[in-house]
Structure 1
Amino acid sequence: MQATLHFMQCLMTRWLVFLVLAGSFMPAQAELYRYVDDSGQVHYSDREPDDAEFESLEIKLPASAPADMSKKKPAAKSVLIYTSSTCAYCKQAKAWMKSNKVPFTERNITTSRSARRAFDKLGARAVPVILVGKQRMNGFNPRRLQDLLDAP
């Protein structure tokens, strides 16, 4: 008898915990009443009016507050890296961008004439040259590159 009572108490406790948790994840719902009084004034109330015809309005509230849009990540910037086939820093920069899932376009100045012309137009003297949006970085510094990627 004692074991059955203990089992029932445990079962009821678990059921109550389940209901409380399930209820906390459901969207809140409120009922609102709209009515017009004798003078034609429109009223809204959370209680049914006693002496007037009313319309029941159902309001569904979200389960949680809307996300803070100010923390939204900025759109990904285009990243272009000028490299050469023998540049160790270029390889480090590309490896860093791959490991950090930064999409980039590579232009190798030793294998592409158009890449070399564009590189020369920049007035650059050495590779890598990394363009993040309109910002330019000569050489490779992981912190500086991350700052350029995070900047608005």
Structure 2
Amino acid sequence: MGVSALQAQTIYRSVGSDGKVTFSDHPPVVTPASKLKPAGNAVARQPAGSTLPFELRQVVAKYPVTLYTSSSCTPCDGGRSLLLERGVPFTEKTVTTAQDAAALQNLSGSTSLPFLTIGAQHVGGYSSTAWTQYLDAAGYPQHSKLPASYRSPVATAMTAPEPVANQSAPKNAATPVASPQVTAPTKPKVNHDNPAGIQF
């Protein structure tokens, strides 16, 4: 009688420099550009068309960076330059209207700029030392790892612009409101087989 030994087979997970994940039962050749790890239950999923390196995509997914600025703001320019030099992908929101200022007040408790969010962390004002510490703690690289083809998104307004009112209508003209249709309640028909009037 032969006893067969059951062995658990190791599955290796290899992540290439382009972020491509490969699973195999054979350990791949380890190069500096790839990582070798036993397969786990959690596998990060990223959009197929993403242009960021894998490690940077992971940080951006956990701690997205948003910079709130205004025009003619020298500290805002300094903060933007720091993020660009470090290669930190960020979204820029401009504060130009009273609605933008009110939204910034609700978000930060202040209307001073620049204002930075790194994940749930709020950083008011610009200090290269403080911003660097927060970015380091989040795991952003100290030197740019962005591909040469990467382009930062265009800055957008913090709040959506209000729709422009129709100029041809007089300002004091009342908009006609349709009156609701009112129907008189109908008296239920008496069913002699169901004197209580129970309906299903």
Kindly, what percent of the aligned residue pairs are identical?
25
Report the AA paired with residue 136 of structure 1: H
For the residue of structure 1 that corresponds to 2:123, the secondary structure is: strand
Is the 2:101–2:111 Cα contact (8 Å) retained in structure 1? no
The answer to whether 1:118 aligns with 2:86 is: no
2:59 to 75, 96, 109: 75
Report the alpha carbon displacement of residue 134 of structure 1 after superposing the two structures with TM: 0.5
Match in the other structure for 1:141:
127
Report the alpha carbon displacement of residue 151 of structure 1 after superposing the two structures with TM: 2.6
1:46-79 deviations in Å (ceiling 9; x for gaps): xxxxxxxxxxxxx84433398366xx66421211
Instruction: Output the CA distance in 2 between the equivalents of 1:149 and 1:61.
Output: 34
Q: TM-score with structure 1 length normalisation? A: 0.51
Is the 2:117–2:123 Cα contact (8 Å) retained in structure 1? yes
1:81-122 deviations in Å (ceiling 9; x for gaps): 22121211100001111121112222222x244432211112
Match in the other structure for 1:127:
113
**Largest Rg, 1 or 2:** 1
Give the total of aligned pairs: 97
Report the AA paired with residue 80 of structure 2: K
Task: Give 1 or 2: higher strand fraction.
Answer: 1
Instruction: Output the CA distance in 2 between the equivalents of 1:60 and 1:119.
Output: 53
Instruction: Output the CA distance in 1 between the equivalents of 2:90 and 2:26.
Output: 44
Q: CA-atom RMSD, angstroms?
A: 2.9
Q: TM-score with structure 2 length normalisation? A: 0.40
Is the 2:30–2:36 Cα contact (8 Å) retained in structure 1? no
Distance 1:98 1:60, change over 3 A: closer
Match in the other structure for 1:84:
70
Distance 1:64 1:112, change over 3 A: same
Instruction: Output the CA distance in 1 between the equivalents of 2:120 and 2:137.
Output: 11
The answer to whether 1:101 aligns with 2:67 is: no
Task: Give 1 or 2: higher helix fraction.
Answer: 1
**Displaced runs of 4+ in structure 1, greater than 6 A?**
none
